[in-house]
Amino acid sequence: MKTDLLIQQLIDQTFKILDQGQKLNSFDLETLTWRPNESSWNILECIEHLNRYADYYLPEIREAIQNSNSSPNSDFKSSWLGKYFAQSMLPKDKPNKMKTFKSKNPIHQNLSIEVLDKFLNQQNDLINLLMQARYVNLNKTKIKTSLSSLIRINLGDTFQFYINHIIRHLKQVENILCEYQLVNLKPIY
């Protein structure tokens, strides 16, 4: 795939994510903190989970871009591991359950609406990093994963994995909103 095309697709996806995040600001705290059952996340917890991953990945990406001395490449090729990670994050009709690290699990924490503001700021930061990524080699610039510092994937795969993770949880948010509407017989939009 052409590197410029990949980066533009990722920027476009992030703008859609930003739009979805901004729409969440129109909901009241009751809606944002409603949960389908005691073991499920509510909307703010989904967003806080994403914020915690951003707290890890955005600085890692920024540092890798700043420290890269590689020239941009015209073609990007996913590694088998990076492609696997990115594809595993995509939402499916019947989502595969994934266990989250305790440090990334915000269930039953007292969260405020500021969680959304932080999320929106992080998405703007991500767009800036995607623009900066045009000046480095997406294949040669490596990022440590949150799984282990020993597992490193290239920058292009990291962006795809990271953005797919956001898309996955925004689909979860969408499902929570639909269930909330059914249970409370309230229109959500």
pLDDT of residue 158: 96
Task: Tell me the pTM.
Answer: 0.91
According to the model, what pLDDT value does residue 97 have? 66
Q: What is the pLDDT of residue 48?
A: 97
pLDDT at 186: 61
Q: Which two tokens stand for residue 94?
A: 């019947």
pLDDT for 50 equals 98
Average pLDDT across each block of 10 residues of the chain; the chain has 189 residues. List them in order.
Answer: 96 98 95 93 97 97 95 91 86 66 77 96 98 96 82 92 96 94 69
pLDDT at position 82: 86
pLDDT for residue 146 = 82
pLDDT (0 to 100) of residue 156:
95
